[in-house]
Amino acid sequence: MKQTLIENARLVDPVWKQESEKPSEDRGFLGALLIEDGKIKARDDDALDEVAKDALRIDAEGLVLAPGLVDMRVQLREPGEEHKETIASAIAAAAAGGVTSMVCLPSTQPVIDDVSVVEFVARRGREQKGCKIYCYAAATQGMRGEQISEMGLLQESGALGFTDGERVIQNARVMTRVLTYARGLNALVVQHAEDRALAEEGDMNQGEVADRLGLVGIPAAAEAIVVERDLRLLEGTGGRCHFAHLTTEAALNAVRRAKKKGLQVSCDTAPHYFCLNESALVGYRTFAKVTPPLRSEADRKAVVAGLLDGTIDCIASDHSPQDQDSKRLPLPLAACGMIGLETTLALCLTHLEDLSLAQIFCKLATNPARLLNIGGGTLQTGEPADLLLCDPERRWVIREEQMRSKSKNTAFHEVEVRGLVMKTWVDGRIVFDRNMESG
């Protein structure tokens, strides 16, 4: 395969920063990267030494070259709800957002609790030849929370972990079985931490704003109760447990304590939980209705603190496409969720100014890749050439009509952000080029 040399780039790699003897700045340093046969062949001075005469040369013009994002929480809607999103439209959105690998939740129709559905998603992803598509399998049959799924067979067929998606595994005995079987497979269990009895009738976060709007509130305790319970179970079973989209100070404090005790626990959050608070629903704005709900300003600040001190390991888009008919309803009837594949990086660069570029890409790429045991997330030689080139200072306005996702349910419409993806590579192939689009 012909070589590609990306030169004059500001290289940002969290792994490289930690391991290289050569000093590197948190905001990257000027260098070059050589791609060959879909992998990173060499970097910096070595790249210039090993480049062939006929190599394709790309001048990065001083922009940031970083690992492509590994989005560990995406709803694809295919199969079953293709009017909301398809694998093809999700891949197009992902490429424009610098996402090179994404993991879909099992909440499709049919549910991903059978080997045939895992294989269908993998096959459709390969056919599109864009962003790499992985999937979780349902932890319980039909995501009903009653009987555990055929976890061994599902892992053998390619499932990266087990979760019931946006449904909590409510029964403690079932959760114990899930953790126990997953431990034997060294598989990740991903929990949506929201006590069903406290949350199922709620519309938004419990508090003054909900009272003023006349809406039913979901207490912050609904999240902390499940986290505390599952951490107790994890102590007894061992294995690896990951809490998705955490939103509250109490839950984060529980995770913080568990990490100090040495439990194999990790967690993520989504951009809307550190960019917005419950006031975003004032005016009954259904596009800001998500699950778990947007929380108080104090909890929003706690999420930012968790990102800064490392309690929160990863940032995922929590991409949840919904059509207009599902969103333009009275708020109690409207569906939860918002899209995020194209806006995650920009929202992080805009709102997490106290994190360096290396730290941001660690949470968006390096840590998710390590948790899921997949390639990517680094500019290390021998790794897949899954990369993005971005201008971290470029300002642009999010407009729902320009989103490549089939659904347009974003709460950030007409919001100005900073950081624009210019090119995306998957296995050394350019899958998105903003300049070509403009031309």
Secondary element (H or E) of residue 179: helix 172-185
Contact status, residue 105 vs residue 137, Cβ threshold 8 Å: no
Q: Map out the domains of the chain with their CATH numbers.
A: 4-65+384-394+412-438 (2.30.40.10), 68-372 (3.20.20.140)
Q: Which residues contact 168 (CB under 8 A, 6 or more apart)?
A: 145, 191, 192, 193, 194, 195, 196, 226
- Rounded distance between C-alpha atoms, residue 367 and residue 242, angstroms: 12
Give first-to-last CA distance, the chain, whole Å: 27
- What confidence score (pLDDT) does residue 27 get? 62
Backbone angles phi, psi at 104, to 5 degrees: -95, 150
What global pTM score does this model have?
A: 0.95
Q: Which residues contact 259 (CB under 8 A, 6 or more apart)?
A: 265, 311
Residue tagged active-site, from 299, 318, 391, 427: 318
Is 203 a catalytic site residue?
no
- What confidence score (pLDDT) does residue 435 get? 87
Dihedral angle over CA of 122, 186, 70, 167, nearest 10 = 80
Which among 252, 407, 367, 321 is positioned nearest to 105, based on CA atoms? 321
- Rounded distance between C-alpha atoms, residue 212 and residue 282, angstroms: 9
- What confidence score (pLDDT) does residue 436 get? 80
Which among 312, 313, 273 is positioned nearest to 293, based on CA atoms? 273
pLDDT in tens, the chain (439 residues): 689 999 999 999 999 755 444 444 556 789 999 999 999 999 887 778 888 888 999 999 999 999 999 999 999 999 999 999 999 999 999 999 999 999 999 999 999 999 999 999 999 988 888 899 999 999 999 999 999 999 999 999 999 999 999 999 999 999 999 999 999 999 999 999 999 999 989 999 999 999 999 999 999 999 999 999 999 999 999 999 999 999 999 999 999 999 999 999 999 999 999 999 999 999 999 999 999 999 999 999 999 999 999 999 999 999 999 999 999 999 999 999 999 999 999 999 999 999 999 999 999 999 999 999 999 999 999 999 999 999 999 999 999 999 999 999 999 999 999 999 999 999 999 999 998 875 4
Burial pattern 68-104, b for ≥16 Cβ within 10 A else e, equals bbbbbbbbbbbbebeebbbbbbbbbbbbbbbbbbbbb
Secondary element (H or E) of residue 304: helix 297-309
- Rounded distance between C-alpha atoms, residue 317 and residue 271, angstroms: 7
- What confidence score (pLDDT) does residue 26 get? 59
Strands 265-269 and 314-315, how do they pair?
parallel
Task: Tell me how many degrees the CA angle 409-196-215 measures, rounded to the nearest 5.
Answer: 55
